[in-house]
Copies of this chain bind each other. A is one copy, B any other.
Amino acid sequence: MRDTSTSENEKNHARPAECATDGLSHSLVNRYAQIRAATEALAAPLSAEDQTIQSMPNASPTKCHRAHTSWFFETFLLTPHASGYTPFDERYGYLFNSYYEAAGARHPRAARGMLTRPGVEDVTAYRAYVDEAMSRFIPQCDVSLLPLVTLGLHHEQQHQELLLTDIKHAFSLNPLAPVYCARGKKPPANVSAPPLEWFTLPRGVHTIGHTGDGFAFDNEGPAHQTFIHEARIATRPVSIGEYLDFVNDGGYQRAEFWLAEGWDLIQREGWQAPAYWQQRDGLWESYTLHGMQLLREDEPVIHVSYYEAAAYAAWAGKRLPTEAEWEVAARHHATANARRAEQNPHPRPLAPGFTQDAWEWTGSAYLPYPRFQPAPGAVGEYNGKFMVNQMVLRGRSCATPPGHERLTYRNFFGPAARWQFSGFRLAEDA
């Protein structure tokens, strides 16, 4: 699963797109500055204490997200390619390498929360040091290295989302239910989500996977043909209100809906509802980055595992879509709605009206696409090394940085994971 702490997103690294010009260098300097600043902005509400702890082996301290993303630029660009560059601290290579075996020995993942030093201020200095060097390096480096800079930025954006899901998990363990950023206590929605509509997928050979010139992780390609059987796919994810019907219908007590592993898990762990949900005085609340909030029935359900998604689908007499079905439908939707999107004051470019603020579990295992080839070297060393025991998620969540999303994006986690913003939509055979 994408169970991999600081590093989990590197798994998608990247036969990055090809060439670059001076204009690209210039815009890349700006983009570098923006994305690096965005990380710092996300960490800004967090105290030194907040940034230090590790709430489970699969999560990472905020501080490590901030340092590891810097380590990436230092290790793969500055140290080998920037003449005269001196690493900020020789020991950081050991501390902040998440999983690149080829890049040398590593501090054990599960012990990352024991690193009180280097402290938060040291990490801030580290980032500044790397940023200063990168701002000089990008304009003058060989253009062949610019794709690696781009990769480092996408890598950093992945960690931005993980920073949020990890701190949410950590805060959820604090009985004080800390507020990461304020928002008023919202009332429960009396309105339901709009009625489910179904999009029909035409039977036949379709092409999926990344084809364009833009950036994509290597696991999104090669584009290839696949056979799709006639089916219908919902045009929006399952809502909290709909999921509550499952909960209230005894969904967590009825073995017949569950994969055997899932049933064992919820028995053992005592799961009765999605992660972070609590019932108080008859009302359902959820821990959120705004603190405890009443549930809104019209929002997409999130923080469910694959097991829960599959159980809901069985209860509903449906199934989860495959990732191919999802991509074909989303692409159709994206095209059709392109004009509508232009009129949206806050457009999010990913299939507006189709996706919502939730990653969506698909029924597809995370496996290499036909003719997939791992990229050479440490950066690409492990492109495929997570391709077992994980399921693919598609879409984007409320925490996905704008511009990071793609219709071909393959997110992936183990079926038990639910600390991500993970929901799902339904499909059925036609």
Contact = CB atoms under 8 A, between A and B. Distances in A.
Interface string A215-255: 00000000011110100000000000000000000000001
Interface stretch (A29-37, A107-115, A130-138, A183-191): A107-115
A336 interface: no
B365 A53 contact: no
A281 interface: no
A395 B15 CA distance: 36
A247 to B, nearest CB: 20
A225 B174 CA distance: 50
Contact of A117 (B50, B101, B258, B388): B50
23 contacts: A4-B260, A47-B116, A48-B49, A48-B120, A49-B51, A49-B119, A50-B116, A52-B53, A53-B113, A91-B176, A111-B173, A114-B170, A114-B173, A116-B170, A116-B174, A118-B176, A256-B381, A258-B385, A259-B385, A260-B382, A365-B367, A388-B415, A389-B389
A115 B174 contact: yes
Contacts of A91: 175-176
B49 A116 contact: yes
Interface string A288-330: 0000000000000000001100100000000100000000000
Contacts of A51: 49
A367 B362 CA distance: 12
A73 interface: no
A62 to B, nearest CB: 10
Contacts of A384: 259
Contacts of A225: 227, 229
A99 interface: yes
B386 A260 contact: yes
A129 interface: no
A206 B187 CA distance: 54
Contacts of A388: 259, 261-262, 306-307, 310, 391, 415
A415 B4 CA distance: 19
Contacts of A391: 388
Given A55-B114, A205-B227, 11 more contacts: A49-B52, A49-B63, A49-B117, A49-B119, A95-B176, A107-B175, A117-B174, A205-B205, A307-B388, A310-B388, A388-B415
Nearest to A389: B389
Size category of the binding interface on chain A: 35 or more
Interface of A: 4, 47-53, 55, 63, 91, 94-95, 99, 101-102, 107, 111, 113-120, 170-171, 173-176, 178, 205, 224-227, 229, 255-256, 258-263, 306-307, 310, 319, 363-365, 367-368, 370-371, 381-382, 384-389, 391, 415, 429
A205 to B, nearest CB: 6
Nearest to A254: B101
A11 B118 CA distance: 35
A205 B365 CA distance: 21
A362 to B, nearest CB: 11
A20 to B, nearest CB: 29
Contacts of A364: 367
A263 B385 CA distance: 10
A303 B226 CA distance: 33
Nearest to A102: B256
Contacts of A111: 173
A95 B173 CA distance: 12
Nearest to A310: B388
A253 to B, nearest CB: 12
Contacts of A370: 229, 429
**Which of A174, A368, A385 neighbours the largest number of chain B CB atoms within 10 Å of its CB?**
A385
Nearest to A325: B370
Nearest to A113: B53
Given A53-B114, A389-B389, A119 B260 contact: no
